[in-house]
Structure 1
Amino acid sequence: MSLNHGTVADADRGNWVDHFAPPWLRPYARLARWDRPIGWWLLLLPCWWAAALASNVAGATLPNIGHLVLFFVGAVAMRGAGCTYNDIVDRNLDAGVARTRSRPIPSGQVNVRNAKIFLLLQALVGLVVLLSFNLFSIVLGVSSLVVVAAYPFMKRVTDWPQFVLGLAFSWGALMGWSAVFGSLALAPVLLYAGCVLWTIGYDTIYALQDIEDDKIMGVRSTARLFGARAREMVGLLYAGAALFWIAAFAVAGIGWIAWLGLALMAAHLAWQVANVRLDDEALALRLFKSNRGAGLVLFAGLVLDALA
């Protein structure tokens, strides 16, 4: 199969893009990671958690469905824009890593000029979504762009690029709350802090796939920094995330069903830590992807608690 029309190495075989998307769209869908939805799920979940937590505090029986839909569209668009931007910046690094050299830009499926145009189109969709919220949320959303723009360069200058990713990917924990109240409070800030640690943890597991290639290319990561202590460090990060979430729930004063959802989420994180293996790339990817289901359990607990 020609590189210009081939799939990417880290996408699931048989994904909908390869089977159903028209040929002209496939390279751009791969560039936006539409064939790998776990990324936008992980961006979306803090938005939904905060929206559900805020609606619970406000006394609503359900989160604002319109907000949930807008967050979904925004997460898909902005995750795609972020991946496109990241791939433009990292195209030379990606060409030297086995897992990423088949991505659309280094493999020649999309040239840089067209990638920039596609980036702009996705960013415009994100802007339309952002302008649907209150003024405080608009300003808050725009302020996240500084972190988003800095992230691709962090792997060149620090062993903690996952921390910067956490700052960006967790922003929805603030947005979901501000969309309801037009302001922030202690509860969403604590939720955000927990999400930052959660992101560092799961992205460290994800980065275990690339340790050897990253050493060759000079790419820095928490996976390389932690080395043989990766399991213990991910355990500490996840424990910190759980403690911040406990504090957020306590401050918000939510009910027992939401606490049950949080307990199940914490148990799942403990299961991940128990199963981390430094030399099993396939397992690392499975553990990383498992955060979606656990995150939806936490969201369901918040929603059901409000209904009850």
Structure 2
Amino acid sequence: MSKVKLYSELLKFEHTVFALPFGLASIFLLYQEVLSWKKVIAILIAMISARTLGMALNRLVDKPFDEKNPRTKIWPHASGLVKDWEIKLLIFISGLVFIGSCYAINLLALALSPVVIFFLWFYPYAKRITYFPHLVLGVVYFLIPIAVDIALNERVSLIAFLLGLAMGSWVSGFDVLYSLQDYEFDKNVGLKSIPVRFGIAKALKIARLLHGITFFSLVLVGLVYPKTTWIYYLGLFLITLFLVYEHRLITEKDLSKINKAFFTVNGFISFVFLLVVLLNELYYTFGLKG
């Protein structure tokens, strides 16, 4: 059990709260026919295994820096509690499960699986070559609704694109905020990020801009989606309040509440969106049409 706990800490399974609810919401927004539960399960397995693969790659590639960073040197991989061969085994197994789940979905998903794997692999290297690694992470999340649409309908619709834009800009924005914790360390060791390039004040403004894109993308989703009701827009209003609150927590002179903004507020945003999509679907089906 202690080893399982170490793996859970290594891979930050609690971060699944960010991607999984949005992925589930994408399923309900994008399906065209009666949902096949086998396909839904395969999609969920693909999401979880892809996230595990991405985190394991990130830990292995970033280990030389994580060992030196005061914030991360106590993490299992940096402190030596989880060995490199164990991380490589996790990479192999999760990669195999991801490819297998794509095969179970359809051949198009299987053919495009290397694209997802490439961006998962590239993200930890991005901070070495570009000041915009947050946007690379955003691309990974942008691909989630795209992949769901391909899995369910073998196409890429406008709604999937807008959902991807909302997810990608949301994640990029809070990754900019999260990277503020390592601002001094990254500058000293030569790692790149938006805060390192533009400074803390401008980085906060860029994060707000990215979350503004999230808001407008979700508005457009509501306009394009044929089943939108007042419940969706009420939920979008609540999400906007959470985003505003998140940015009020963090200021140039006080970065002490980054973890609260990152974990608590973003977790609420993801779950609220899923709940709103489900309630909107139920109201449209049984309220308006029932």
TM-score range, shorter chain: 0.7 to 0.9
The question of whether the paired residues in 1 share the 8 Å contact of 2:120 and 2:140 is answered with yes
Q: Is the 8 A contact 2:250 2:256 kept in 1?
A: no
Q: After superposing the two structures, state which structure 1 stretch, 261-270 or 162-171, moved more.
A: 261-270
- 1:111 and 2:111 correspond: no
* Cα distance in 2, alignment partners of residues 274 and 281 from structure 1: 11
Which structure 1 segments of 5+ residues have no match?
Answer: 1-21
Normalising by structure 2, report the TM-score. Answer: 0.88
Q: Residues 27-85 of structure 1, C-alpha deviation per residue, up to 9 Å, x if partnerless?
A: 33332223xx12x2223233222212113xx376xx66555544443333322221111
Q: Is the 8 A contact 2:143 2:164 kept in 1?
A: yes
2:215 is the alignment partner of 1:239: no
Asked if 1:152 is matched to 2:124, the reply is yes
Distance 1:113 1:181 in 2: 38
Q: For the structure 1 residues 223 and 283, does the alpha-carbon distance in structure 2 shift closer, same or farther, using more than 3 Å as the test?
A: same
Contact 2:146 2:156 (8 Å CA) reproduced:
yes
Matched, 1:299 2:274: yes
**Residues 137 and 171, structure 2, Cα contact 8 Å, conserved in 1:** yes
Counterpart of 1:182 in structure 2 is 154
Give the equivalent residue in structure 2 for 1:286. 260
What TM-score, normalized by structure 1, do the two folds share? 0.83
AA at the equivalent of 2:279: L
Q: Is the 8 A contact 1:170 1:199 kept in 2?
A: no
Q: 1:229 aligns with which of 202, 214, 217?
A: 202
Map of 2:4 onto structure 1:
25
The residue number in structure 2 matching 1:126 is 98
Provide the rounded CA distance (Å) in 2 between the counterparts of 1:210 and 1:160.
Answer: 15
- C-alpha distance in 1 between matches for 2:162 and 2:258: 28
Aligned CA RMSD, in angstroms, stands at 2.1
Question: Do the aligned partners of residues 179 and 225 (structure 1) sit closer, same or farther apart at CA in structure 2, a change above 3 Å counting?
Answer: same
Could you say if the C-alpha distance between residues 279 and 97 of structure 1 is closer, same or farther in structure 2, counting changes exceeding 3 Å? farther
Alpha-carbon spacing, 1:296–1:71, altered in 2? closer, same or farther (3 Å): farther
Equivalences for 1:12-161 in 2 at 5 Å?
Answer: 22-34=1-13, 37-38=14-15, 40-55=16-31, 58=32, 66-161=38-133
Q: In 1, distance between residues paired with 2:49 and 2:83? A: 20
Q: 1:251-266, aligned counterparts within 5 Å?
A: 251-253=224-226, 254-266=228-240
Task: Tell me the CA shift for residue 166 of structure 1.
Answer: 0.6
Pairwise CA distance, 1:169: 2.5
Q: Structure 1 CA distance, aligned partners of 2:262 and 2:24? A: 19
Counterpart CA distance in 2 for 1:78 and 1:282 is 31
Q: 1:67 to 1:89 in 2, by over 3 A?
A: same
The structure richer in helix per residue is 2
State the percentage of identical aligned residues. 24
Aligned-partner SS, 2:76 = coil
One-letter amino acid of the structure 2 residue matched with residue 230 of structure 1: A
**Contact 1:53–1:177 (8 Å) recurs in 2:** no
Distance 1:280 1:80, change over 3 A: farther
- CA gap of 1:119–1:271, structure 2 versus 1, over 3 A, is same
Q: Partners of 2:196 and 2:213 in 1: how far apart?
A: 21
Instruction: Quote the Cα distance in structure 1 between the aligned partners of 2:214 and 2:221.
Output: 11
Shift of 1:304: 1.3
Indicate if the aligned counterparts of 1:169 and 1:199 stay in contact, CA closer than 8 A: yes
Give, in whole Å, the separation in 2 of the partners of 1:161 and 1:129: 28
In the TM superposition, what is the alpha-carbon distance from 1:279 to its structure 2 partner?
4.6
1:269 aligns to 2:249 (yes or no)? no
Q: Give the unaligned 5+ runs of structure 2.
A: 284-290
Change in CA separation of 1:242 and 1:98 when aligned onto 2, cut-off 3 Å: same
